[in-house]
Structure 1
Amino acid sequence: MSFFGAIGSFIMTPLYYVISVVMIGFHNVISKLLEPAGGASWVLSIVGLTVVIRAALIPLFVKQIKSSRNMQMLQPKVKELQKKYGHDRERLAQETMALYRDAGTNPFASCLPILLQMPIFFALFRLLDAASDGDPRGVLSKSQAEQFGNAELFGVPISKTFITADGDIGVQIMALFFVLAMLVTTFLTQRQLMTKNMPESAMTGPYAQQQKMLLYVLPVVFAVGGVAFPIGVLVYWTVSNLWTMSQQFYVIRRNPAPGTPAAQAKAERDAHKAARKGHPVVEEPGSTMIEPAPEPPRPAKRQQPQRKPRSQRKQPPKKRS
């Protein structure tokens, strides 16, 4: 146990310092407006921590979106491989991974943001749990650790969990609220990806089955585990989910995958935007695309007679003497 404890301490100790530095920075600023020992100032510090972490993970999120899009576009080729090597699972797996490798995509890239957040998530959990016992971690001082551990939001300690509420209805209600918020935001984020940014060709097959499984399994996993997390940690996870959902909405709206409902909606918005600027548009019968109408032909310009030089002008007849 001492060996694994040393490994855990080696991983967590730097995270304690990073998390506590960011939180204390936000807390020092927020304390100028709110009560330093109040729960609102510490909860807003957790929100600030979430924003900083998610902003740092934007490059990974972009990589996740690109990988997900590439996998969607490769689904017709994956189906061909299934028909060809369906009798040989080992060969099918090899050919599928070779296809992903040649396309420069990785099916595990979509898990990177979640996997990288998990150590931060557990470090915040341990930081808050230790602070509730007056044990400072990172750069937290003794007094700051006590403030953080005893902070209350609307009279509810943010260090409490649903299962450690000891019959406190306020703690149970707030914990359930954030657990449900975490569940709903996780579900909506995954559903947004499936319904808006996946072509019809990708709605069947192993990748689609994986996405459908995540759509229902992930919220349940978070809901079951959420009853054991402190309210402060649930705040972090809920805000992180809201960030993910908003960021994904922006990316899908501005740069959707080809052949998806989001791409069709973007094309229609662009056409209407062009129409508002004065470009006429027509809609073909039975078509979902709106294209600019051809401009009517302009009347030909009337050709003006050219002026002749003086030497070529007709001279008047001379009079007879």
Structure 2
Amino acid sequence: MDTIASLFSFITTPVSWIIVQFHKLYGALFGADSGWAWGLSIVSLVVLIRICLIPLFVKQIKATRGMQALQPKMKAIQERYKNDKQRQSEEMMKLYKETGTNPLSSCLPILAQSPFFFALYHVLANIANGKTIGVMDQQLVDSAREAKIFGAPIAAKFMDSPEKVEALGASLTDVRIVTAVMIVMMSLSQFYTQRQLMQKNVDLTVKTPFMQQQKMLMYIFPVIFAVMGINFPVGVLVYWLTTNVWTMGQQMYVINQNPTPGSKAQDQYLTRLLKHVTSHGEVKSRGKKKVVAAIVAKGPDRNDNERKFITALTKQGLAAQADGSVIKSVVATADSDAASGGAAKRQQPKRQSKSQRQTPPSKPSSKK
């Protein structure tokens, strides 16, 4: 890990500078040597990085959905050229090129975070050894080295020896309890994030190997993080736990506001939208109008969730328009008029008694 971190040493100066700036702010509130001041500085570093990565996150969502949309075509190619792996790869690349899809785009946020992650690890490793790094002078290094989060120094690791932990002014028991709890929380947050994605935001109408791979990753990633976590300093665990929580919250927002077509989340979203439309008689927000307009534009290509939404609108006497607005349905109004006003205009003949029906009509008399 130290070798990998050293490869990203070029970014340690800006990372250390950002941490120092946040430390000045939190140090004024909690004390310069407080673990909260240093811990919150790391948390703020994560938030800043993740805000900068939001455009990449949006690109990741588009890439993931593009891959999901291509799954039926990819499966057809695999079945068609199952005995010719080279032709299969060529056809796959051709499909990616035609659709403008890049399978690696879904990994962009993680790849973009990597330099900052390893640079932070490099900074904390030097702090643990009492060495200056980046813009951090010896005074700041000593302050960070002695700072503790719940009794565990931010530079300590789960696998550190008792002697090394004692040199940091802490007990091995405190370090292992704190790091174990953070590793478990880090792994659980990773598992929940992936599970939430698989259960709510995947097109359930498409069963492909891609879904099976995602399901496997749901169990593999938390295990990988748990194994790697025992070699992470407390400060890095704070970093990774914070970024996992951010990802989980960010994904919750996307699932609720912009779900994948055909997913369970889309069904729930359209149910909420239908309730809103029937209550107010219109679509107010620009985002909701875009959703309705997209459904209208699909026409016969709508999925089951979207067809159910349009049908439910019709039953409520409403019709979705191409611009995303909703108006009172002309067809429903006509049917309603025919069933009420139209029927009232037609006069029913009076019922005759039995004697009247049996008596033949009298012939008109002719005058001579």
Same fold (TM over 0.5): yes
* Residues 205-284 of structure 1 aligned to structure 2 (within 5 Å): 205=209, 207-277=210-280
169, 176, 199: which is aligned to 1:172?
176
Match of 1:54 in 2: 50
Aligned runs of 1:79-228 on 2, under 5 Å?
A: 79-164=75-160, 166=162, 168-205=172-209, 207-228=210-231
Deviates more, 1:232-241 or 1:112-121: 112-121
Question: Comparing both structures, which one devotes a greater share of its residues to helix?
Answer: 2
Amino acid at match of 2:222: P
Moved over 6 A (4+): none
* Aligned residues of 1:132 and 1:146 also touching (Cα < 8 A): no
1:149–1:159: 8 Å Cα contact kept in structure 2? yes
How far apart in 1 are the matches of 2:242 and 2:176? 19
CA distance in 2, matches of 1:188, 1:45: 26
**Cα separation, 2, equivalents of 1:191 and 1:149:** 37
- CA distance in 2 between counterparts of 1:275 and 1:174 reads 51
- Hey, what's the Cα distance between the residues in 1 that align with 2:45 and 2:8? 17
Structure 2 regions of 5+ residues with no counterpart? 163-170, 283-306, 318-327, 343-368
Q: 1:291 — aligned with what?
A: 313
Confirm or deny: 8 A CA contact 1:13 1:138 kept in the other structure: no
Q: CA deviation at 1:118?
A: 2.1
Contact 2:5 2:118 in 1 (8 A): no
**Whole-angstrom distance in 1 between the partners of 2:255 and 2:74:** 24
Identical-residue share of aligned pairs (%): 41
- TM-score, normalization: structure 1? 0.83
Structure number with higher relative contact order (C-alpha < 8 Å, ≥ 6 residues apart): 1
Q: Deviations over 1:243-286 (max 9, x none)?
A: 1111111122211221111111111010111233257xxxxxxx
Count the aligned residue pairs. 287
Q: Over aligned residue pairs, what C-alpha RMSD do you find?
A: 2.2
Structure 1 contact 226–234 (Cα < 8 Å) conserved: yes
* Aligned equivalent of 1:23: 19
Contact residue 121 and residue 236 of structure 2 kept, 8 A? yes
- TM-score between the two structures when normalised by the length of structure 2: 0.73
* Distance in 2 separating the partners of 1:162 and 1:288: 53
Question: Given that residues 133 and 146 in structure 1 are in contact (C-alpha distance below 8 angstroms), is that contact kept between their aligned partners in structure 2?
Answer: no
Q: Which amino acid aligns with 2:208?
A: T
Structure 1 residue matching 2:103: 3-state secondary structure: coil
* Alignment match of 1:72 (pick from 68, 72, 84): 68
